[in-house]
């Protein structure tokens, strides 16, 4: 961070940096750690034609917010709120949303995801094909696939609990990546996201879950305790390589679920954020901006970036036009 940010961090300076006004910085790091003196820094204004610039400015916004929070906590400096709020629905994360029917199909698909038939209910030919498929899934030789592998895959609650939480809580990929077992408050039907791990670092958040999701998490919690790859991890969910899920992993999983559910994504931008936009749309249609903002862990001003009329609402309006 340049000298002005270190020694003279003020809301006015922040406004200059976030807005389209140049700021003189004595030293800015260059790639590789070198410093270029007398560099004139100018940050591009938000534009919806260049998603990269909006994305970079959103990151810069977050850095400034954290800097002022630090000065407020340590030195009693003035608090600062940026004049421009960035949402996850900016061009870099633009997404189409799922209808109610598609949400139901996706959850049902999570229950069936890569689920083999019972070992004893298959012909030798069917069992052989499933062994090859399971061997690929578990990354083990086909000869080492056992009936216990069939049973485990038939009863896993990892994906249903993950999809349930995402449908209920509109979870961002980064929140799934950072999620920890200590977040679970199943007796209250909630997930607690602490401020320092929240996507926007604004406050602690309580994510309300429906009973279906709570039960899926209880079952997954028991299964998780028996899996060796979780022994040294507090993550709620790990991918098959034993790492936390990332956007790339999650979007690959979503592609698999779309196929299982038979959902056509042609001419649509369907990504993990489609869950978030869908939840926002339907919560807003049943409540108000304040409630929707709480579910999204965002601000009421940002709700308009996520929510809009549902297909059902638009259809009702059209049906009523002519009486």
Are residues 305 and 186 both part of a single domain?
A: yes
For residues 174-182, average pLDDT: 95
pLDDT for residue 271: 93
Residue 261 has pLDDT above 70, yes or no: yes
- pTM here is 0.64
Residue 286: inside a domain, yes or no?
A: yes
pLDDT for residue 49: 36
Residue 29 has pLDDT above 70, yes or no: no
Are residues 110 and 226 both part of a single domain?
A: yes
pLDDT for residue 298: 84
Are residues 225 and 280 both part of a single domain?
A: yes
| Lowest-confidence segment of 16-30, 47-61, 180-194 by average pLDDT | 16-30
Q: How many domains is the chain partitioned into structurally? A: 2
pLDDT for residue 93: 47
pLDDT for residue 7: 38
Residue 144: inside a domain, yes or no?
A: no
Q: Please report, for the domain that includes residue 287, its CATH number.
A: 1.10.443.10
Within 10 A of 312 (CB to CB), how many other CB atoms are there? 12
For residues 79-107, average pLDDT: 70
Residue range 41-66, pLDDT digits in tens: 334 444 433 344 444 555 566 666 66
pLDDT for residue 25: 43
Ramachandran sector of residue 38 (left: φ over 0; alpha: ψ -120 to 50; beta: rest) = left
For residues 233-258, average pLDDT: 94
Residue range 111-123, pLDDT digits in tens: 988 777 777 888 8
Residue 198: inside a domain, yes or no?
A: yes
Residue 145: inside a domain, yes or no?
A: no
For residues 213-241, average pLDDT: 93
Are residues 177 and 231 both part of a single domain?
A: yes
Are residues 64 and 106 both part of a single domain?
A: no
Are residues 113 and 37 both part of a single domain?
A: no
Residue 24 has pLDDT above 80, yes or no: no
Are residues 79 and 199 both part of a single domain?
A: no
Are residues 67 and 26 both part of a single domain?
A: yes
Domain boundaries, position 221: 100-119+154-313
Residue 82: inside a domain, yes or no?
A: yes
Are residues 81 and 210 both part of a single domain?
A: no
């Amino acid at each position: 961070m340049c000298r002005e940010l270190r020694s003279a961090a003020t809301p006015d300076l922040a406004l200059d940096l976030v807005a389209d006004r140049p700021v003189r910085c004595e030293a800015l790091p260059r790639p590789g750690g070198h410093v270029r003196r007398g560099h004139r820094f100018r940050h591009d204004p938000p534009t919806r034609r260049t998603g990269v610039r909006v994305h970079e400015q959103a990151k810069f916004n977050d850095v400034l917010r954290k800097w002022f929070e630090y000065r407020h906590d340590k030195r009693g400096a003035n608090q600062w709120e940026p004049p421009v709020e960035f949402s996850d629905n900016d061009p870099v994360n633009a997404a189409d949303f799922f209808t109610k029917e598609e949400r139901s199909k996706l959850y049902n698909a999570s229950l069936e995801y890569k689920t083999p038939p019972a070992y004893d209910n298959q012909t030798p030919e069917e069992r052989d094909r499933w062994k090859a498929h399971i061997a690929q899934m578990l990354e083990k030789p086909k000869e080492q696939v056992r009936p216990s592998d069939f049973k485990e895959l038939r009863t896993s609650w990892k994906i249903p609990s993950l999809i349930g939480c995402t449908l209920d809580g509109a979870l961002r990929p980064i929140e799934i990546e950072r999620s920890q077992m200590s977040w679970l408050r199943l007796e209250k039907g909630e997930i607690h996201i602490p401020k320092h791990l929240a996507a926007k670092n604004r406050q602690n958040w309580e994510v309300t879950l429906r009973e279906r999701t709570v039960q899926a998490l209880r079952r997954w919690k028991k299964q998780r305790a028996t899996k060796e790859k979780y022994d040294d991890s507090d993550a709620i969910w790990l991918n098959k390589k034993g790492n936390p899920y990332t956007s790339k992993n999650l979007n690959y999983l979503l592609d698999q679920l779309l196929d299982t559910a038979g959902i056509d994504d042609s001419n649509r931008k369907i990504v993990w954020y489609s869950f978030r936009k869908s939840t926002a749309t339907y919560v807003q249609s049943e409540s108000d901006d304040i409630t929707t903002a709480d579910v999204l862990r965002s601000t009421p001003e940002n709700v308009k970036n996520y929510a809009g009329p549902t297909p059902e609402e638009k259809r009702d309006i059209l049906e009523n036009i002519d009486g």
